[in-house]
């Protein structure tokens, strides 16, 4: 079924969703869309990398009545009781809570494991115990490791290159075993470099797109790791929100216990991305003086090229990305200009 049809059905037959990591980038976009569809939403976050102001942004973007369908639990998924309490009377879990970033996991594998593996196991177990109907979770393109194959196809992964990738791979193993042992329906989404509004531009582990946009808007230096010919399948947030909702409601039994590439299916180099952001910002804000990028060493644990084959998600989930990189970039830039420039 098409996404627009699904949205109409959800509006007339609302469900209860638990979104973990709701104060983060992807989680806050998920709750915004769900609340706009008049769903009942429980959010859980420990504010380790998420922010109250993301929740405030959502509140200010939707109607009062829609916001009244939201309840928030401040808690940590590494605590099993918290997971058990938050999954009560929930239809669908969208598990986004995790510590992102490959370099963060290389710096401190133990804390990444705590949220991403222990927390994940707590969540999927609690969801099963409370008879949640569907468990959708954030996996990552990092599970492709050193595989050189392009585009990446779900069944062919390489050797893992970081503790972060290990955590996401373990999630997929648990998904498979929970289906075999308990018949528990979960679906993994292997996100490829997601970008869009509310992605954090700050901190040592910020993703490239918001970090660059923020640096350019603030007249700061922009760094490119390596020669800039590293390429990625940059995926706009709306596509990721769609994939989560499609996975959350699908009745296709073929779709369960699988991990899906969640991407736009394109590929762009860092050099071209830098040029596209710079040109677009200079067009919008002619007074802005953006310096040339500074090149530095490649980053440990990074894969060279990434590009997804998205056929499996299209066929089994009915996923149809609505935004390519350029379309997503224009929407994101408009938001960052307003947010970063507007706050000065």
Binding stretches for ligand NAD (CB under 6 A): 20-21, 23-27, 44-50, 76-78, 96-100, 115, 119, 138, 140, 191, 193-194, 200, 207
DSSP string of 165-223?
Answer: HHHHHHHHHHHHHHHHHH---EEEEEE-SEE-TT----STT--HHHHHHHHHHTT---E
* In the complex, minimum distance from the CB of residue 291 to ligand NAD, in angstroms, rounded to a whole number: 26
The Cα–Cα gap between 72 and 65 comes to 16
> Closest CB to ligand NAD among 96 and 242?
96
Backbone angles phi, psi at 219, to 5 degrees: 70, 25
CA distance 302 to 162: 8
Residues carrying an active site annotation: 164
Which residue is associated with the tokens 């769903």? Answer: 39
Shortest spacing between CB 272 and ligand NAD, in angstroms? 18
- The β-bridge relationship of strands 70-74 and 40-45 is parallel
- Triad 301, 304, 308: Cα angle to 5°: 105
| Min separation Cβ 80 and ligand NAD, Å | 12
Closer residue to ligand NAD in complex, CB, 136/290: 136
Alpha-carbon span 45 to 157, nearest angstrom: 31
Q: How far is the CB of 44 from ligand NAD (least distance, A)?
A: 6
Closer of 134 and 190 to ligand NAD (Cβ) = 190
SS (H, E, C) 284-334: HCCCCCCCCCEEECCCCCCCCECCECCHHHHHHHCCCCCCCHHHHHHHHHH
**151 cis-preceded (ω within 30 degrees of 0):** yes
Min dist CB 112 to ligand NAD, Å, is 9
Taking the least distance from each CB to ligand NAD, the nearer of 279 and 322 is 322
User: Residue 133 CB, nearest distance to ligand NAD (Å)?
Assistant: 21
Give whichever of 73 and 276 is closer to ligand NAD, judged by the CB atom.
73
Residue with Cβ nearer ligand NAD (69 or 115): 115
Task: Collapse the DSSP code of 93 into the 3-class scheme (helix H, G, I; strand E, B; otherwise coil) and give the result.
Answer: strand
């Amino acid at each position: 079924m098409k996404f627009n049809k699904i949205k109409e059905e959800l509006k007339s037959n609302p469900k209860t969703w638990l979104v973990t990591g709701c104060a983060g980038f992807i989680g806050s976009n998920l709750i915004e869309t769900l609340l706009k569809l008049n769903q009942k939403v429980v959010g859980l976050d420990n504010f380790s990398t998420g922010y109250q102001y993301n929740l405030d942004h959502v509140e200010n973007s939707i109607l009062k009545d829609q916001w009244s369908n939201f309840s928030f639990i401040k808690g940590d998924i590494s605590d099993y009781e918290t997971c058990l309490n938050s999954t009560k009377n929930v239809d669908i879990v969208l598990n986004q809570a995790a510590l992102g970033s490959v370099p963060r996991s290389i710096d401190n594998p133990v804390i990444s494991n705590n949220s991403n593996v222990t927390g994940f196991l707590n969540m999927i177990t609690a969801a099963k115990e409370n008879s949640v109907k569907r468990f959708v979770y954030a996996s990552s393109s990092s599970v492709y490791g050193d595989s050189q194959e392009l585009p990446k196809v779900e069944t062919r992964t390489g050797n893992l290159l970081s503790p972060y990738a290990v955590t996401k791979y373990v999630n997929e193993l648990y998904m498979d075993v929970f289906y075999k042992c308990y018949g528990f329906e979960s679906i993994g989404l292997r996100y490829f470099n997601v970008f869009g509004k509310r992605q954090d531009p700050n901190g040592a582990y910020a993703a490239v797109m918001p970090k660059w946009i923020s640096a350019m808007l603030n007249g700061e230096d922009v760094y490119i790791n390596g020669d800039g010919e590293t390429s990625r399948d940059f995926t706009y947030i709306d596509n990721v929100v769609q994939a989560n909702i499609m996975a959350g409601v699908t009745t296709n039994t073929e779709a369960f216990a699988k991990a899906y590439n969640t991407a736009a299916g394109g590929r762009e180099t860092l050099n071209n991305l830098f040029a596209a952001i710079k040109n677009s910002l200079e067009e919008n804000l002619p007074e802005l003086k953006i310096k040339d990028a500074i090149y530095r060493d490649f980053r440990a644990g990074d894969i060279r090229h990434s590009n997804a084959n998205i056929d499996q998600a299209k066929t089994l989930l009915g996923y149809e990305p609505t935004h390519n990189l350029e379309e997503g970039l224009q929407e994101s830039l408009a938001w960052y200009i307003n947010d970063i420039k507007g706050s000065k």
